[in-house]
Chains A and B, each alone.
Chain A
Amino acid sequence: MVETSKESLSIQDLGLIYQTSAGPIEALRGVSLDVRDGEFISIIGPSGCGKSSLLKLVLGLQDATRGEIRIAGVPVKGPSRNAGGVFQSPVLLPWRTILENVLLPVDVMKIDRKTAMDRANELLKLVGLGGFETRYPFELSGGMQQRAAIVRALVHDPRLLIMDEPFAALDALTREQLSAEVQRLWLESGKTIVFITHSINEAVFLSDRIIVMSARPGRIVAEYKNPFPRPRTFADMGSPELASLMIDIRESLDRASAT
């Protein structure tokens, strides 16, 4: 097994079993996945397919029952500086201003604030939050809060960004806007992004590759490539290639939910 470290994220035969009072629950079974450096992949599946568990495992917040995860070639034994996470809700700290929230990883990881400040301001401008640095989270809309959360995940310059249904709590219009912004952010930063979602639309719009998972225990049941040129617009979603790709994914999702 000779592997060049071109993989940002490498998951080998991952399994996760929860012990609950009602007995063990198998959340993930035999999940293997390699994500190239700079690649954008989406993971899509029915509820309860262990997508969120996958996020916790990759972020090192939980230990797998079996298998291994490597980020940039390094096995994950706990939280890693090479990964940044965005959760379903923004989880901004209400006593910190937007800029201070964005700088939280900088404080926790004890990175020099001065160097990080430029990056933070630049990223905030990039997602349209320039001018809101000194505002508090409760003064911002849900979409703006989630934008700040994305900037926070990127501020320490991790190689890998993993997002768990980051737009789940937002309205349809804001979701589209934010999808477009995530695409722009990805094109400009060249990060590796793993995007966990319920939405076929978002997955197809954003990804180079779409991974379909089955219901519990979560397994990878299908994989689709999406070579459609970038940058993509929402008008592109009507093109025959993307439309048929969406139908394919829909069918394999239906099969995954049925089992």
Chain B
Amino acid sequence: MSTMIDDSAPPEAALRPLASSRFGRIGEALGYLAGLLLFWEAVVYLLDVPPYVFPAPRAVATSLWQGLSSGTFFYHLGVTLFEVLIGFVAGSLIGLLLGIGMVTVPFLNRVLYPYVIAIQTVPKVAIAPLMIVWFGFGVQSKIILVAMACMFPVLVNTIAGLRSTDSDRLSLVRAMCGSRLQVLRYVQLPSALPYIFAGLNTGVVLAIIGAIVGEFVGARVGIGVLILQANFALDLATVFALLVVLSATGVLLNGAMHLVERRVCFWSGRSSK
């Protein structure tokens, strides 16, 4: 009675390329990295590039090891991390609360939005000297710069998230006699979490930039200060070593954010309407 052909049956399991497993992919990436480092070392050696122009990977590794084993890097990294974390938490909180306020109170939105945009369009580097004058060479000025840097992405994403809440979910809680605040608490804020985390992920990266910019402009301790000092001494191997430390820190912070996100927004992306 039916001439339907069942074409939904899966074909024989396709041969998977070796690198498709997680382990294989990591190995592959490490392999490329080793190749790149070898090439770099070879070019510097063969062309006899002076170390104050471009240091070889081995020189960078030596500087890195010295900085780490003497504890110098850790001390300065500690200060920079402190600025980054405090500033990030403060800036994100301000961004989150401002976002909630601007979505729930239209008046706030009208009054604040132009200023928020105006502040955002000014490059943080341009404000940095001002902050040093006002708040000194200590950590305060950097914390404020970091907070300013990460506030904006969190704010913008919070607003976008709260506004894009599915209208059925809003109706649902309203039909239960839910107040404006209850709609926010039970539906809008949780729905906005994936957006808010997108803002936090951007914010964490901007936070590191903000701290280094602040330290460049005026500070006594911090990774930014070390980079400037090494640069003046034409010790490029140390500069490279510090860049490695910075990017490793960024990758770790970003990874930590993703871990938190996956725990908090475990439901995100799963189909359910």
Contact = CB atoms under 8 A, between A and B. Distances in A.
Contact of A145 (B174, B187, B266, B272): B272
A137 B177 contact: no
A152 to B, nearest CB: 9
17 contacts: A56-B171, A59-B175, A60-B175, A79-B176, A90-B272, A91-B169, A91-B172, A94-B270, A95-B193, A95-B267, A104-B173, A104-B186, A107-B186, A108-B176, A136-B270, A137-B272, A138-B267
B267 to A, nearest CB: 4
B174 to A, nearest CB: 6
A79 B177 contact: yes
Interface string B248-272: 0000000000000000011110111
B190 A95 contact: yes
Given A93-B186, A108-B173, A109-B176, 6 more contacts: A61-B174, A87-B168, A91-B168, A93-B187, A94-B267, A108-B177
B182 interface: yes
* Most B C-beta atoms less than 10 A away, residue of A80, A93, A108: A108
A46 interface: no
Contacts of A83: 175
A83 B178 CA distance: 14
B273 interface: yes
Interface string A88-123: 011111110000000011011100000000000000
Given A89-B168, A94-B272, A145-B272, A108 B186 contact: yes
Given A91-B273, A92-B272, A109 B177 contact: yes
Nearest to A87: B168
- In the complex, the 4 A-B pairs of residues with the closest C-beta atoms, listed nearest first: A138-B270, A94-B267, A138-B272, A137-B272
Interface in B221-273: 265-268, 270-273
A6 interface: no
A198 to B, nearest CB: 19
Contacts of B268: 94
Interface residues of A, number: 28
Contacts of B182: 108
Contact of A138 (B171, B176, B187, B271): B271
B176 A105 contact: yes
B170 to A, nearest CB: 9
Interface of B: 166, 168-169, 171-178, 182, 186-187, 190, 193, 265-268, 270-273
A81 interface: yes
Contact of B175 (A79, A95, A137): A79
Contacts of B190: 93, 95
Nearest to A106: B176
Contacts of A89: 168, 273
A164 B177 CA distance: 19
Nearest to B267: A94
B273 A61 contact: no
Interface of A: 56, 59-61, 78-81, 83, 85, 87, 89-95, 104-105, 107-109, 136-138, 145, 156
Contacts of B272: 90, 92, 94, 136-138, 145
Contacts of A56: 171
A69 B134 CA distance: 63
Contact of B169 (A59, A60, A93, A145): A93
A81 B177 contact: yes
* Most A C-beta atoms less than 10 A away, residue of B177, B178, B265: B177
A61 B187 contact: no
A89 B169 CA distance: 10
A124 B168 CA distance: 23
Contacts of A105: 176
* Most A C-beta atoms less than 10 A away, residue of B174, B190, B273: B273
A80 B166 CA distance: 22
B236 to A, nearest CB: 50
A92 B169 CA distance: 8
A97 to B, nearest CB: 10
Nearest to A92: B272
A80 B175 CA distance: 7
A90 B166 CA distance: 13
B173 to A, nearest CB: 6
Nearest to B190: A95
Contacts of B271: 138
* Most A C-beta atoms less than 10 A away, residue of B174, B175, B268: B175
B225 to A, nearest CB: 44
Nearest to A81: B177
Nearest to A89: B273
Contacts of B266: 95
B177 A85 contact: no
B166 to A, nearest CB: 8
Contacts of B174: 61, 79
Contacts of A136: 267, 270, 272
